């Protein structure tokens, strides 16, 4: 039997167990990225910073991932998989110790960037190994399904650990759990991978290190602009203007390097294919709309007063929906690749249904059961959209482009996530202000509802022992709080409606593409018949 290029003979004797262990190592790698997504308030208190700073630390990690991912696909062929992964995991452990010890947010953000490079090494290598364990005709589909299902669900699973830690001790004790997982991954890698090189080594000088440096400068600049820009009034801020100029120069230098190199990090020829551009557009749009789920989590924590543990439990319903729909999508695509457009349109329709559900049902007192159903439906929609869109995008480019499609899809997720962070912040700021001013203009002494509510609050506080002046002040505060909550609910409803309309637009684009493709195919067939 021919030796596997990465796994040793003992691992190949127990293929089922080995596959489970590979998925576990993939999960451990992804956990380093999403370890505190659902406990961000604890980080804000711990570091004494603004929410934007924590968002920047998250996106710095993602910047590290997408900067190093194309480098890692080449670098990985220079070392044995075992040595390569174990070295990366050891570096990750050191970075986690540093993250645990630091109380400086700038140092924390820098460490998160380098943790992103470690995640890129581990995740990129595991992606290749997972592909190599599958039959040739199913390799890309099944490998991608496992990989991206893990991406969409890991944050919720790690949220169970991190929320429990945050409730019972300092949040940064999460790093003890992450380090323990990395030690487990070290043991697994030592046991199942070959100690020797089983493929031809590639020289390190063929790697575009300067291109990676240019892209790091661009991605970090872009993240900074999109996160801090809305609060600093965009280009009216000198710092935003300078960073934007720096990022633009870095982008130009990166593109120039890719255009002239024989072995670039990404093959720019991929952008000549219309279906690839369409898939990338859908991916960016999907990630922008998908993050409306965070509005539900924010509503549960901010308005309903749920704990992080309750929010994580709600997120499990979303993960279940993702896993079910991805499994169904894999089965349908294996049956017939022509099902890809149908699955995408189905996902868009379900996403419209989810957004309209939330638009019509959002009130100040929803229960867990009221939210679990739409959250589950959103997971179903995500699975139907995400995997088929990835297959559509990756199948649009020829094999000579290498890993370009996967890398650019990762770029698309980065852009889509930043668009949602910036867009949701801007929309919530503007719509909140608009709706609250609308309420306040109608709250006059002639409004009987206001008068009655004010009297009820005053009587309540008087019965608690407050004097008349204190009761009046507290009554006014309660009315302001109610107006704020109503303004936030109306803002969320507006964003859900915008999400539904954007999904309608995506369906129109998809239908135009399908019809246009059929017309072009029929025209080409007719010309071939005439030529014959």
The overall average pLDDT reported for the chain is 81
Going from the C-alpha of 386 to that of each of 22, 116, 152, 272, 356, the distances in angstroms are 22, 22, 9, 22, 20
* Token output for 17: 């167990």
Instruction: Quote the pLDDT of residue 157.
Output: 75
CA distance 127 to 90: 20
Average pLDDT of span 67-87: 83
**For residue 376, is pLDDT > 90?**
yes
Tell me the three-class secondary structure of 307-335, residue by residue: CHHHHHHHHHHHHHHHHHHHHHHHHHHHH
Residue 1 has pLDDT above 60, yes or no: no
Architecture of domain 273-506: Up-down Bundle (1.20)
Of 46-60, 462-476, 507-521, the least confident: 462-476
Compute the distance between CA of residue 221 and CA of residue 209 in angstroms, rounded to an integer: 19
Report the C-alpha gap between 169 and 167 in whole angstroms: 6
pLDDT, tens only, 313-324: 888 888 888 888
Q: pLDDT tier at 133 (50, 70, 90 boundaries)?
A: confident
Residues 505, 175: Cα–Cα separation, whole Å: 43
Q: Which of 496, 488, 485 is nearest to 430 (CA)?
A: 488
Name the least confident of 107-121, 201-215, 217-231, 264-278.
201-215
Start-end of CATH 1.20.1250.20 domains in the chain: 1-205
Tell me phi and psi for residue 79, to 5 degrees.
Answer: -120, 165
Q: What is the 3-state secondary structure (H, E, C) of 178-225?
A: HHHHHHHHHHHHHHHECCCCCCCCCCHHHCCHHHHHHHHHHHHHHHHH
198-206 long-range contacts, Cβ below 8 Å, gap at least 24? 198/3, 198/4, 198/5, 198/6, 198/80, 199/5, 199/77, 200/77, 201/77, 201/78, 202/74, 202/77, 202/78, 203/78, 204/75, 204/78, 206/74, 206/263
The pLDDT value recorded for residue 444 is: 59
Q: How far apart are the first and last CA of the chain?
A: 49
Check: CB of residue 380 under 8 Å from CB of residue 387.
no
* Segment 512-519 mean pLDDT: 82
Lowest mean pLDDT among 75-84, 288-297, 340-349, 419-428: 419-428
Largest CA distance in the chain: 97
Q: What is the mean pLDDT of residues 348-367?
A: 89
Average pLDDT of 73-98? 85
Q: Backbone dihedral region of 510: left (phi > 0), alpha (psi from -120 to 50 degrees) or beta? A: alpha
Beta-ladder partners of 193: 7
Q: What is the DSSP string of 123-183?
A: HHHHHHHHHHTS-TTTHHHHHHHHHHHHHHHHHHHHHHHHHHHHHHS-GGGHHHHHHHHHH
Model pLDDT, residue 453: 66
pTM of the model: 0.82
Spatial distance between the Cα atoms of 238 and 221, rounded to a whole number of angstroms:
14
Of 19-23, 75-79, 382-386, 498-502, which range is least confident? 75-79
208 Rama sector, left if φ>0, alpha if ψ -120 to 50, beta otherwise: beta
The answer to whether residue 326 scores a pLDDT higher than 80 is yes
Q: Which sign does the torsion angle of CA 300, 40, 231, 495 carry?
A: negative
Structure tokens at 356: 């309209």
pLDDT given at position 202? 61
The helices-and-strands tally (H runs, E runs) of the chain is 18, 0
Q: List all residues 6 or more positions away from 78 whose beta carbon is below 8 Å from its beta carbon.
A: 201, 202, 203, 204
With a CB cutoff of 8 Å and minimum separation 6, the contacts of 22 are 126, 129, 130, 133, 192
On whether the CB atoms of residues 347 and 503 are closer than 8 A, the answer is no
Backbone angles phi, psi at 303, to 5 degrees: -100, -45
Tens-place pLDDT, residues 5-23: 677 777 777 778 888 888 8
Backbone φ and ψ for 235, nearest 5 degrees, come out as -80, 5
Instruction: State the average pLDDT over residues 489-510.
Output: 89
Q: Torsion-angle region of residue 344: left (phi > 0), alpha (psi -120 to 50) or beta?
A: alpha
pLDDT at site 198: 58
Tell me which of 144-158, 204-218, 252-266 is least confident: 144-158
Q: Report pLDDT for 237.
A: 84
In CATH, 1-205 is 3.20.20.80: no
Look up residue 141 and give its two tokens: 């589909």
DSSP-derived secondary structure letter, 78 = G
Say if CB 271 and CB 404 are below 8 A apart. no
User: Residue 450: what pLDDT?
Assistant: 63
409-466 per-position pLDDT tens digit: 888 888 888 887 777 777 777 777 777 776 666 665 665 666 666 676 666 667 766 6
pLDDT digits 0-9 by tens, 242-279: 989 999 999 999 999 888 888 888 888 888 888 888 88
pLDDT on residue 248 = 92
Residue 383 has pLDDT above 60, yes or no: yes
Contacts with 285 (C-beta within 8 Å, 6 or more apart), sequence order: 416, 502, 506
């Amino acid at each position: 039997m021919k030796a596997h290029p990465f796994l040793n003979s003992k691992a190949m004797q127990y293929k089922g167990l080995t596959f489970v262990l590979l998925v576990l190592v993939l999960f451990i790698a992804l956990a380093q990225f999403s370890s505190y997504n659902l406990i961000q308030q604890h980080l804000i208190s711990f570091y004494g910073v603004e929410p934007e700073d924590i968002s920047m630390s998250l996106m710095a990690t993602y910047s590290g991932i997408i900067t190093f991912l194309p480098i890692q696909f080449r670098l990985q062929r220079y070392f044995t998989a075992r040595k390569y992964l174990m070295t990366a995991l050891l570096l990750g452990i050191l970075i986690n110790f540093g993250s645990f010890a630091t109380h400086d947010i700038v140092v924390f953000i820098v460490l998160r960037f380098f943790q992103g490079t470690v995640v890129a090494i581990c995740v990129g290598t595991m992606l290749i190994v997972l592909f190599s364990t599958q039959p040739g005709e199913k390799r890309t589909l099944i490998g991608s399904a496992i990989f991206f299902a893990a991406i969409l669900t890991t944050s919720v699973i790690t949220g169970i650990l991190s929320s429990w830690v945050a409730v019972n001790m300092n949040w940064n004790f999460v790093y003890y759990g992450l380090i323990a997982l990395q030690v487990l991954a070290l043991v697994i890698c030592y046991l199942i991978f070959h100690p020797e090189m089983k493929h031809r080594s590639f020289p390190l000088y063929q790697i575009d290190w300067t291109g990676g440096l240019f892209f790091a400068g661009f991605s970090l600049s872009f993240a900074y602009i999109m996160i801090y820009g809305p609060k600093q009034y965009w280009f009216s801020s000198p710092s935003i203007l300078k960073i934007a100029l720096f990022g633009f120069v870095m982008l130009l230098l990166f593109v120039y390097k890719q255009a002239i190199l024989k072995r670039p990090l990404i093959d720019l020829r991929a952008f000549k294919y219309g279906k690839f551009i369409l898939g990338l557009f859908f991916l960016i749009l999907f990630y922008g709309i998908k993050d409306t789920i965070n509005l539900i989590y924010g509503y549960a924590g901010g308005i309903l007063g749920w704990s992080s543990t309750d929010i994580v439990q709600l997120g499990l319903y979303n993960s279940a929906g993702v896993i079910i729909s991805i499994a169904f999508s894999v089965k349908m695509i294996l049956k017939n690749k022509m099902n890809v457009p149908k699955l995408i349109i189905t996902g868009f329709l379900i996403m419209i249904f989810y957004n309209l559900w939330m638009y019509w049902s959002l009130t100040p007192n929803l229960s867990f059961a009221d939210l679990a159903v739409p959250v589950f439906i959103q997971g179903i929609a995500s699975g139907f959209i995400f995997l088929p869109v990835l297959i559509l995008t990756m199948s649009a480019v020829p094999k000579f482009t290498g890993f370009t499609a996967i890398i650019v899809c990762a770029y698309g997720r980065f852009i889509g996530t930043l668009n949602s962070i910036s867009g949701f912040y801007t929309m919530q700021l503007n719509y909140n202000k608009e709706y609250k001013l609308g309420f306040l203009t109608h709250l006059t002494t002639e409004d009987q509802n206001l008068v009655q509510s004010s009297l009820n609050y005053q009587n309540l506080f008087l019965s608690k022992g407050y004097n008349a002046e204190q009761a009046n002040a507290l009554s006014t505060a309660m009315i302001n709080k109610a107006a704020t909550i109503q303004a936030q609910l109306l803002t969320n409803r507006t964003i859900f409606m915008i999400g539904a309309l954007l999904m309608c637009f995506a369906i129109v684009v998809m239908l135009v593409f399908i019809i246009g493709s059929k017309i072009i195919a029929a025209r080409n067939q007719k010309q071939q018949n005439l030529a014959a």
